[in-house]
Copies of this chain bind each other. A is one copy, B any other.
């Protein structure tokens, strides 16, 4: 299957053949995380955990089920989720008096507790997170990691004394995002969503969008400023230094298993998955090239190399199966192992190891005497190359337009879409006109970007804001 011929089919095939997930579970859109996919997801989670812990967020685990009475306290929020939640209505043989929602996100589970936990300014900021699965009754066509009904994600929730402190939290979230996405070699757009597309209940929402190679964007996460929109209905107040009771300002930040979907789609090629070294369960595969000449020595050196690299903190697999090397190459390429080392009798004579990079296919040799340093350099360069390549693709997708008539028509699965960038006066009226006329969805305006002199693509009024629009995955 060719990636550039039919991205959608290519994606599904990669997920299957690399054994990331099994979608034959008897509920559509609820897939089984098989060992290889789950290992990668846990690696991604470990970076999330690292960043959140380093910034003083405490990990917690809240109940999955939320009483309808709590769920319905914030009106916009419930309107946004009502059509896509699962309801537990029965336990054993009993109908429940109060139906329970299966968590679609945890605001309404957490905030009643926050109202008990926060008493004074000394309890602020409150910064917590959890890594759990969440549930949405998805009615559109499902796709592994990208649109599923049980979603693995993290959600951080914070409470602050003032709107400004909450704003600082959002800046901190963006720094964490930068660090996490760097490990995944994923570039992204950071776009303040339009008012009609923000998270239900949010003051504003920043969407984190990555671009798939077919030119469609994939929202991999989001950051929200809630102001006091939730703290008022959930009665989360603190006593400030003057003894006055005030509502807290809140933020949330979350990213989902779509991160893995993005890794598959952005980096993979016609030979399979390509994993960024930081999240690869095996970063290096060592393959003995056994010939009649000194087969035992070859295997011994392979074991030694595996041991050395493992001791130096790398994740290494020695593939000593009794198969021809070509079949092994095929296997590990499919599974996206970033670096392959091949060791044969002649290499050993020359004190060399042959390598093949998964990202570029480049082959070469490294000196046994500089093994760890050379492998480390190669892995870093693989990360760098994957990121640069993805960034180039992302940038090449962006098309500037000055009139709606320039927007290309939506393509079918076999052709690539583009991302539109254009001036926008910011009015909801022009926004809706744009979306209805072109069929593109406005993703928003770059978060924290410098002003750009431009003209609204609809009403032609002068503006200083550019917007992005795309077809989404």
A residues engaging B (CB < 8 A)? Answer: 22, 24-27, 30-35, 38-39, 42, 58-65, 67, 69-70, 82-94, 99-100, 102, 109, 112-113, 116, 128, 133, 135, 137, 139, 150, 152
Q: How far is the CB of A110 from chain B (nearest CB, A)?
A: 8
- Contact indicator B63/A113 (Cβ below 8 Å): no
CB distance from A45 to the nearest CB of B (A): 11
Q: Is the CB of A83 within 8 A of B90?
A: no
Cβ distance A44 to chain B, nearest Cβ, rounded Å: 13
Contact A35 B59 (CB under 8 A): yes
Which one of B33, B65, B102 contacts A60 once the chains associate, using CB atoms below 8 Å? B33
- B residues in contact with A87, CB < 8 Å: 88-91
**Could you pull out 18 A-B pairs where Cβ atoms are within 8 angstroms?**
A22-B113, A24-B113, A25-B109, A26-B67, A26-B70, A27-B63, A27-B100, A32-B60, A38-B59, A39-B59, A61-B133, A63-B150, A64-B102, A84-B92, A87-B89, A88-B102, A90-B99, A92-B139
Given known contacts A38-B59, A94-B137, what 5 new A-B pairs fall within 8 Å (CB)? Answer: A27-B65, A33-B62, A65-B150, A83-B93, A92-B139
Contact flag A35-B60 (CB < 8 Å), given A89-B89, A112-B26, A113-B24: yes
B27 touches A61 (CB 8 A): no
A172–B73 CA distance with the chains assembled, in angstroms: 50
Contact A150 B64, CB 8 Å, known A83-B92, A84-B92: yes
Cβ contact within 8 Å between B89 and A85: no
What is the CA–CA distance of A30 and B26 in the complex, to the nearest angstrom? 28
- A87 to B95, alpha carbons, bound, how many Å? 10
- The residue that A24 contacts in the complex, of B38, B60, B102, B116, with Cβ under 8 A, is B116
In the docked arrangement, what's the CA distance between A22 and B113, Å?
9
List 10 tightest A-B contacts by C-beta distance, closest first: A35-B58, A33-B61, A91-B137, A30-B63, A87-B90, A83-B92, A89-B89, A86-B88, A86-B91, A92-B137
Chain B residue with Cβ nearest A41: B61
Q: How far is the CB of A422 from chain B (nearest CB, A)?
A: 35
Q: How far is the CA of A166 from the CA of B17 in the complex (A)?
A: 30
Asked if residues A61 and B152 are in contact (CB atoms below 8 Å), the reply is yes
Contact B63 A31 (CB under 8 A): yes
Assembly CA distance A22 to B92 (angstroms):
26
Compute how far the CA of A432 lies from the CA of B46 in the bound complex, rounded to whole angstroms.
51
Expressed in whole angstroms, the Cα–Cα distance for A274 and B79 within the complex equals 47
Cβ-neighbour of A27 out of B35, B67, B92, B137 (below 8 A): B67
A94 shortest CB reach to chain B, Å? 8
Residue of B nearest to A21 (CB): B61
Q: CB-CB < 8 A to A61: which residues of B?
A: 32-33, 38, 133, 152
A99 vs B27: C-alpha distance when bound (angstroms): 11
Interface centre among A62, A63, A64 (most CB of B within 10 A): A63
- Which one of B31, B39, B113 contacts A32 once the chains associate, using CB atoms below 8 Å? B113
Q: Are B88 and A60 in contact (CB under 8 A)?
A: no
With CB as the reference atom, state the residue of chain B lying closest to A90. Answer: B87
* Contact with A89, one of B25, B59, B62, B90 (Cβ below 8 angstroms): B90
* Residue in contact with A59 in the complex, picked from B22, B42, B133, CB distance below 8 Å: B42
A465 CB → nearest B CB, Å? 36
Give Cα A94 to B84, complex, Å: 10
